[in-house]
Amino acid sequence: MLTSGVSQLDKRSPEVVMEPNTKYWNKDRTPSVRIVFDNIISKSDALKAVAAGDGKVDIVTMVTPAEAQAFKSDNAKIVMAKAKTVLVGVLNQNKPDSPWKDVKVRQAMNMAIDRKTLIEKGEGGHAELIPAMIQPGRFGYNDGLKPYALDAAKASEVLKAAKIPDATVAIGAGEDQKALFDAMTEQLAKVGLKTKMVDPKGDDFDVKLVWHFDWSPQFPVGVVHREFFGKDGAFRAMPEDPQFDAMFTKLLATPKLEDQEPIVRDIEKYEYDQANVLFLYSPHTLFAVSNRVSFQPYDTFMLELAETKIVKGK
């Protein structure tokens, strides 16, 4: 039995059981494994169970870098995937008299950050440096862009002139992002800014750390960019951007993939220049996996088990 400890779901939910479909059309890939999703067990208990190797739990999803570092077992391992994820800091342009309405201030904020250090201190090295919203090698990646380079002197000059209230940046972050918050605090201090951690669910933030992922086969603008910059985006904290909307409309009216990709690259370049978010990195996706299981994670971050098998003799 393949059991997945998916502790991030509603703990009130019952177990979900999936039986093998013996009538599956592809006889070479006929499912043979019974899958149980346990949404009740806590993640800490699930990690202990997969480490024990007793077969009660074989996969734990949404493992944090700290949990991965602490995980020790002869019966299981941490599996890492470079899924299509992105972590950015949404700059709140909707606050009254927001300094982030000025593109030069937004760009300066991006120049105040050493992303490689953030990856090491905030993610334990489990992330990939990207220039904007799309990873190298992915559909629409713009190879003409480079991550904003650290320029503390220029950033300090611009941010000081911006007269940010009390020279303090309110960062919306969860407790699981404390290491990242601390690393950002160290870096922003070098450009004359203090920080305070605020509730990421509220509106009283300057920068809100937001993780998202691209679940589409080849449509990052529709499921990632739109959420941050589109007029109906769930994470948008800025006025509507007619230029982005026009580019998105053009993309929707373009049926062929080969014609879409140049438009996606142009959108990526536009958002990079506008710096409406603090571009950070692409976090790796981490799983704790029993040695009983041959597990293949997917690029889309979605938990797909089509290639997962029980290892014979385990």
Residue 91 has pLDDT above 80, yes or no: yes
Q: Max alpha carbon distance in the chain (Å)?
A: 68
Q: 60: domain CATH number? A: 3.40.190.10
Provide CB contacts within 8 A for 253, sequence distance 6+: none
Q: Which of 3, 19, 102 shows the shortest CA–CA distance to 54? A: 3
CA distance 214 to 40: 27
Question: Is the domain of 90 the same as that of 152?
Answer: yes
> Which residue is it, tokens 């990709």?
261
Region of poorest pLDDT, from 105-109, 154-158, 301-305: 301-305
pLDDT of residue 303: 85
Question: CA–CA distance from 90 to each of 37, 43, 120 (Å)?
Answer: 33, 28, 21
Pairing state of beta strands 2-5 and 35-38? parallel
Retrieve residue 306's tokens: 């089509």
Residue 212 has pLDDT above 70, yes or no: yes
pLDDT of residue 9: 34
Retrieve residue 218's tokens: 């080849």
pLDDT of residue 28: 83
Question: Is the domain of 77 the same as that of 99?
Answer: no
Question: Is the domain of 104 the same as that of 217?
Answer: yes
| 3 state SS of 179 | helix
Residue 31 has pLDDT above 50, yes or no: yes
Residue 314 has pLDDT above 80, yes or no: no
Residue 313 has pLDDT above 80, yes or no: no
CA distance 211 to 203: 17
Question: Is the domain of 216 the same as that of 275?
Answer: yes
pLDDT of residue 20: 83
Q: Which residues of 270-306 are buried (b: 16+ CB within 10 A; e: fewer)?
A: bbbebbbbbbbbbbbbbbbbbebbebebbbbbebebe
Name the CA radius of gyration of the chain, rounded.
22
Question: Is the domain of 205 the same as that of 143?
Answer: yes
Question: Is the domain of 66 the same as that of 107?
Answer: no
Looking at residues 14-32, what average pLDDT do you find? 82
Retrieve residue 141's tokens: 């990646």
Question: Is the domain of 190 the same as that of 274?
Answer: yes
CA distance 273 to 290: 44
Question: Is the domain of 58 the same as that of 99?
Answer: no
Question: Is the domain of 248 the same as that of 238?
Answer: yes
CA distance 285 to 244: 29
Region of poorest pLDDT, from 9-18, 103-112, 190-199, 227-236: 9-18
Q: 195: domain CATH number? A: 3.10.105.10
Residue 76 has pLDDT above 70, yes or no: yes
| Phi, psi (deg, nearest 5) at residue 224 | -120, -65
- The domain of 199 spans 85-283
Question: Is the domain of 75 the same as that of 222?
Answer: no
Are 155 and 111 in contact by the 8 Å Cβ rule? The answer is yes
Instruction: Give residue-wise pLDDT tens across range 257-309.
Output: 999 999 999 999 999 999 999 999 999 999 999 999 999 999 988 888 878 88
Question: Is the domain of 105 the same as that of 149?
Answer: yes
Question: Is the domain of 34 the same as that of 119?
Answer: no
Looking at residues 116-142, what average pLDDT do you find? 97
Which amino acid belongs to residue 107? Answer: Q
CA distance 130 to 133: 7
In total, how many domains does the chain have? Answer: 2
Residue 21 has pLDDT above 50, yes or no: yes
pLDDT band at 143 (very low <50, low <70, confident <90, very high): very high
Region of poorest pLDDT, from 158-162, 179-183, 300-304: 300-304
pLDDT > 70 in the chain, percent: 95
Q: Which of 286, 288, 296, 290 shows the shortest CA–CA distance to 314? A: 290
